[in-house]
Amino acid sequence: KQEVTQIPAALSVPEGENLVLNCSFTDSAIYNLQWFRQDPGKGLTSLLLIQSSQREQTSGRLNASLDKSSGRSTLYIAASQPGDSATYLCAVGPLYSGGGADGLTFGKGTHLIIQP
Amino acid sequence: GAGVSQSPSNKVTEKGKDVELRCDPISGHTALYWYRQSLGQGLEFLIYFQGNSAPDKSGLPSDRFSAERTGGSVSTLTIQRTQQEDSAVYLCASSLGVRINEQFFGPGTRLTVL
């Protein structure tokens, strides 16, 4: 059964710093990996999708990398801003169907606070 | 609308009652997913639809849970004889295809069972 772990569980940094959020997964048989942010009381906003054949994806100040063989992904946030404060979730999509595992498997998230 | 919509946004019910949650996916998305987010369990996958078909229902927590999708669009998740442990936020997502495409989430339905 796929397990996704995110470290750290919480992080508080001053505005302007660059930071890295970590995600690891136990089963490398994945189709893709997706990073989301979740604001309090809201749904999930998709940030980046990395297909299993890709190494990284970039969107604005965000860069996500994927090392499928080692079961790791990182989300790099450059020049952090108070508006980046949210919970960041990593999720992997299965390569094979069935067994009740056709959806994304999520980590428990990193709660990020950017201090003004 | 442009995004995934869900209704109601909040639902409070008494233990033993049935509830129905609705999801309206992004137009043209053939895949639709239901997830549940609770404090103790995090986000867990429940069921998906490809068109109107749900090939695998084994992710549903119990036989009190059922889901259907009609016309390849709107989906409803029904919970019969609700229990307090069903209290959670129920999230719906849609994508162009199953597993291979980016999933877009709705705002969720917060269910509270008293």
pLDDT tens digit sequence for A47-103: 999 999 999 999 999 999 999 999 999 999 999 999 999 999 999 988 877 666 688
Residues with Cβ < 8 Å from A9, sequence gap 6 or more?
Answer: A108, A109, A110, A111
Note whether B35 contacts A: Cβ–Cβ < 8 A. Answer: yes
β-bridge partners, A71: none
The answer to whether residue B7 neighbours chain A at the CB level (below 8 Å) is: no
B71 falls in which pLDDT band (50, 70, 90)?
A: confident
Ranges assigned E (strand) in A1-116: 4-7, 10-14, 19-25, 30-38, 44-51, 56-59, 62-67, 72-77, 86-94, 105-106, 110-115
**Could you read off the pLDDT of B43-70 as tens digits, one per residue?**
999 999 988 888 888 889 999 999 999 8
Q: Give B49's contacts in chain A (Cβ within 8 Å).
A: none
At B82 the pLDDT is: 98
Q: Say yes or no for a CB contact (<8 Å) between B56 and A49.
A: no
CB B47 within 8 A of CB B59: yes
Give the integer Cα–Cα distance in Å for A11 and A113.
6
Contact yes or no for B42 and A42 at CB 8 A:
no
> Greater confidence, B113 or B55?
B113
pLDDT, one tens digit per residue, over B81-101 is 999 999 999 999 999 877 678
B11-48 pLDDT, tens digit per residue, is: 999 999 999 999 999 999 999 999 999 987 789 999 99
Closest chain B CA to residue A93 = B99
Strand order in the sheet with A56-59: A4-7, A19-25, A72-77, A62-67, A56-59
The answer to whether the CB atoms of A103 and B46 lie below 8 A apart is yes
Contacts of B99 in chain A (CB under 8 A): 31-32, 93-94, 97, 102
Largest CA distance in chain B: 39
User: CA nearest B29: which of B92, B91, B114?
Assistant: B92
Nearest to A31 among B99, B106, B108 (CB): B99
The verdict on a CB contact (< 8 Å) between A102 and B42 is no
Q: What percent of chain A has pLDDT over 70?
A: 97
The angle at the Cα of B11, spanning A107 to B50, to the nearest 5 degrees, equals 55
Mean pLDDT score, A13-33: 94
B64-75 residues labelled b (16+ CB within 10 A) or e (exposed):
ebebebeebbeb
